[in-house]
Structure 1
Amino acid sequence: MNAGKIYTLFVLCFLCSIIILSTEGCKEETSLHSGAASTTPNRDQLNDSRFFQFVTRLTSLPVDSRKEYLHNFLEANPESPIIEKDSLACFYFYGKASSVLINGDIQSGWSNPDSMDMIGCGDENFFYKIYSLPSDTRIDYQLIVDGKTITDPRNATITPSGFGYHSQCAMPFFIPNSIKDFRSNIGRGKVDSLFFKSKKTSVQQRMIKVYTPAGYEQTSNIPTLYVNDGYKAIEYCSYVNVLNNLIADKKIAPVIVVFIQYQDNDETFFIEKPEDYITAICDELVPLIETRYKTSSSPRNRAISGISAGAHISILTVLERPDVFLNAAGQSTTITTKLFDAINKSSSNESIRKSLRFYFDVGRFDLISGGLDNYTFLYANQLIDKEMTKVGINHTFKIYNDGHQWANWRERVDKLLIYLFGI
């Protein structure tokens, strides 16, 4: 081969290597999702939809002929939403109303209600909306009928939340987690109550509930988990059932769990001014618990967790006070620059960095703003995952097809407990 051909071949190989490297870099970036997930069905999905064919036919009928055709449909399909082909969720409402909106997790995280399409049927109207969703999606929603917010009258599945009751839409491949169900045939832990008053006057006094596992009297040096907004976690996540079941199944070690009651001004501490709250937890509450319960005194055996803003303060507490906590879990974490700054600070100390462990997850239909640069929660959490990966902090990060709700978080409490205390 002559020199000219060798040179040409070298140039071509060099250019190809640049293209490959550029493509790999773009692939990493495009895997992040900065906007809200699309739920608009495509034309092929609509063409294959029996529900869409029904509303098309209903619309084409004269108004005085629609009611009989509609009633036949309602008799055959009395529940909403109608799920088709594992991917379409078809919501509908029928009654005396002039306007019906649907609002929930898939409406930009409850921030942008959708108007349902209306078909006049005499003295009553038929309203509908069709969405394309991943096959394992679970979301909350409500209807707004002539300005009044209600649960869906044709949906019997109601879920709890911090803001009243919601209706649930669950796609076919969503499987409810039975680990939260009560079992009568296993050993059960005990829950005590304590009063906690911090020396920090800015931190409001509050009640604390403490879970001790079955067989506590025969055990010592027990790992401990502190749960921010813990009273709601007990109520909405069936947390005590989950603990009893996981311990009985030998999926986690026996653990003491400290459920911290939320107070009205905690949001300020969790996001804007965390210093006093972190000090109260680390230097007052932890010592109080250790004087009363048979806990392990090692930071490796202490964890702290929370949801949303409570997840932010949990992760920040570990990053700022690794002398007390080395493990944290956050669900739908509010992300701020404080977390990035603390990660960079912690990563400069190799022994601390290698000891840290984090679990966090987020919903594909989580809130679309709040925290870091008003990014979506999905995108901001992906950025934290990327930053932790870059500096070499041990962590696991999951994205689920759901939103910013207790009914979602409760489905994966076992995941974070197994990550933190699995055996």
Structure 2
Amino acid sequence: MKRTLLFLAVCSLPLSATTQTFADFLDYFSGISNPVVQQQKVDSLMAEIAAFPLIEGDTTAIFLYQDDQAASVGVAGDFNGWDPGNGPLTQAGSTDLFYRSYIFEPNARLDYKFVVGSNWILDPLNPNTVLGGFGPNSELAMPDYVQPWEIVYDPDIPHGQVETFQFTSQILGQSHQVQVYLPPSYQSATNRSYPSAYFQDGQEYLSLADADHTLDNLIANGDISELIGVFVRPNDRNSEYAGAERVQYRQFFVEELVPYIDANYRTVDDPARRAVLGASFGGNISALISFNHPDLFGLCGLHSGAFWPNSYETNGVVLDGPAKEIRVASVWGSYEGSLSGNMTMVGDELLLQGYDLYSNEYPEGHSWGLWRATLDELLIFFFPPGLTPAPEVVPTASSLVLFPNPARERVTLDRTSFQGEVVLLNAFGQEVLRTELQGPELELPPRLAPGLYWLLIAEEGRQRAVGRLAIE
């Protein structure tokens, strides 16, 4: 979530009084032939610079590296395909300073490393890093980039709890670590049920993207409804998300994991309130799960969805055939090569087919820095504030049999001995019908959205019978 911050350290250029820009310094420097004086001027320049990389104006970033032992230095990052051969730094005369300038968007945020000889290292002058699946990278944030406030732990707000357990899949023949985030009210509001979101690379969404902090902060700020988060750690992500085990992994998710979660936690059993999401290959398997099983997952979240495996199989699954009842949220970076173009194409096609789509492209790369800062956008789109959790069946109420079930226009109740009102609630506890009981047959309101509902018979203000009704 974007909020205005002030970046004093990088918005000014503290060069010597005789120069105003780094280009001016180089022009001045080119007139110095004495190596000792050259080094003195370089040392003076570096001592005056407040933050690295050096930012000029809104769009120019200058990478600076100082090392008297280096023979060659390159910079590799999101902006050049992580190829140091595409980013060699130039040595300033005979000094120990190496430099290279780039032009980026004012709100760009990019990962990079220096490559000194054959060694890949963090920028020793830049304390800003972002964690990734292969360790930390240095972070370049241009002046208009706003750091995500919602990933920071706030000790002054209510916090959810995270439970961790091993779940054994008979389909895959192995166990997976599952971590379940329970929202702040879960333990006290025992009559509530909650929407749910399933995360691929679950351990990394928690450790690298601070998803639990994001959930806590967005809930406390009133930006989203409370929800249950299910974070699943892969055993072999390439095979399970995009390779030989992708079909079995999908079956494990829909046939074993979701039923277990629904049976053991107070979830809303409605695809319109159940999301599956992931990053990169995690986005690939999330799309395969949702679009093959829209009856379970009506919300599909894509962080830089990598659809290219198996000759772009997922493109076909998502785009071919009739449109499905799925809402899609997709965020990617413009520095992600062919993935960026494919995500743009998929989004355009989904819109043409009438899908409810949220999408955003940022000047960033394939990085947890992008995904952690935009998780809020997916969650706000899927789980807006104000959703009332589903009511829990009153233990003393009689069970009500309804038929046909699923129904469309009308439903028959198996009993009419109760006198009183019939109340129909949607999966979030919102009343869609209240009428006096006139007989065994009840006419349903027109244009009811498909999904699960609760039908209650109330007598003298007390719930006497309740049944679950599916609308098709």
Equivalent position SS for 1:200? coil
Q: By how many angstroms is 1:185 displaced?
A: 1.7
2:184 is matched with which residue? 214
Residue 147 of structure 1 corresponds to: 118
Deviation at 1:340, TM superposition (A): 2.5
- Which of 51-60 and 131-140 deviates more? 51-60
* Deviation at residue 58 of structure 1 after TM alignment: 2.0
| 3-state SS in 1 of match to 2:79 | coil
1:74 aligns with 2:46: yes
Q: TM-score, normalising length from structure 2?
A: 0.73
Q: Secondary structure of the equivalent of 2:373?
A: helix
- Distance (Å, rounded) in 1 between the aligned partners of 2:114 and 2:82: 14
Q: Give the counterpart letter for 1:104 in structure 2.
A: G
The yes-or-no answer on 1:342 pairing with 2:326 is no
Structure 2 equivalent of residue 250 of structure 1: 222
Write the distance in 1 (CA, Å) between the matches of 2:340 and 2:171.
34
Amino acid at match of 1:363: G
Paired position in structure 2 for 1:6 = none
Q: Match for residue 391 of structure 1?
A: 353
Q: Find the counterpart in structure 2 of residue 328 from structure 1.
A: 300
Query: Is residue 208–residue 372 contact of structure 2 (8 Å, CA) maintained in 1?
Result: yes
Query: 1:112, 1:197 → 2: CA distance?
Result: 46
Corresponding residue number in structure 2 for 1:56: 27
Q: Deviations over 1:317-350 (max 9, x none)?
A: 11001111111101111023322322344x42x5
Q: Does 1:361 align with 2:323?
A: no
Q: Give the secondary-structure state (helix, strand or coil) at the position aligned to 1:316.
A: helix
Given residue 222 of structure 2, which amino acid in structure 1 is its aligned partner? K
Q: Shift of residue 72 of structure 1? A: 1.8
CA distance in 2, matches of 1:78, 1:175: 19
Decide which of 142, 160, 175 is 1:205's aligned counterpart.
Answer: 175
Q: State whether structure 2 residue 272 is matched by structure 1 residue 300.
A: yes
**Which residues of 2 match residues 5-404 of structure 1 at below 5 A?**
50-64=21-35, 65-77=37-49, 79-96=51-68, 97-109=70-82, 113-121=86-94, 124-201=95-172, 204-217=174-187, 218=189, 219-263=191-235, 265-273=236-244, 274-336=246-308, 337-345=312-320, 347-348=321-322, 353=324, 355-366=325-336, 368=337, 376-404=338-366
Cα contact 1:104–1:113 (8 A) shared by 2: no
- Aligned AA for 2:29? L
The alpha-carbon deviation at position 63 of structure 1 amounts to 4.1
CA distance in 2, matches of 1:176, 1:252: 20
- CA, structure 1 residues 189+153, in 2 after alignment: closer, same or farther (shift >3 Å)? same
Match of 2:444 in 1: none
Q: Deviations over 1:248-275 (max 9, x none)?
A: 1121111000000122x22122123421
In structure 1, runs of 5+ residues without a counterpart are 1-47, 369-375
Higher strand share: 2
SS at match of 1:141: strand
Larger CA deviation: 51-60 vs 96-105: 51-60
Listed as ranges, the matches of 1:403-414 within 5 Å are: 403-414=365-376
Contact 2:202 2:233 in 1 (8 A): yes
CA distance in 2, matches of 1:282, 1:213: 23
Cα distance in 1 for partners of 2:171, 2:92 equals 60
Gaps of at least 5 residues in structure 2 are 1-18, 386-472
Identity among equivalent positions (%) equals 25
2:47 and 2:219 map into 1 onto residues whose CA distance is 47
| C-alpha distance after superposition, 1:162-218 (max 9, x if no partner) | 1122111110000101111111221111111121111123x6421100000011131
Q: Is the 8 A contact 1:78 1:154 kept in 2?
A: no
Report the AA paired with residue 341 of structure 1. G
Contact 1:303 1:325 (8 Å CA) reproduced: yes
Cα RMSD between the aligned structures?
1.7
Q: Secondary structure at the match of 2:98?
A: strand
Distance change >3 Å, CA 66–CA 244, structure 1 → 2: same
Q: 1:220 touches 1:296 (CA, 8 Å); kept in 2?
A: no
Question: How far apart, in 2, do the equivalents of 1:257 and 1:320 lie?
Answer: 21
- Tell which structure's C-alpha radius of gyration is larger: 2
CA distance in 2, matches of 1:109, 1:342: 31
> CA separation in 2, counterparts of 1:148 and 1:53?
31
Displacement of 1:111: 7.6
Matches of 2:79 and 2:319 in 1, distance apart?
A: 34
CA contact (8 A) 1:109 1:403 kept: no
Q: Which runs of 4+ in 1 moved over 3 A?
A: 109-113
| Secondary structure of 1:115 counterpart | coil
Whichever residue aligns with residue 137 of structure 1, its letter is: A
2:79 alignment partner AA: I
Please name the residue that 1:39 is paired with. Answer: none
Q: CA deviation at 1:220?
A: 2.3
Alpha carbons of structure 1 residues 406 and 110: separation in structure 2 relative to 1, 3 Å: farther
Conserved 8 A contact 1:142-1:150? yes
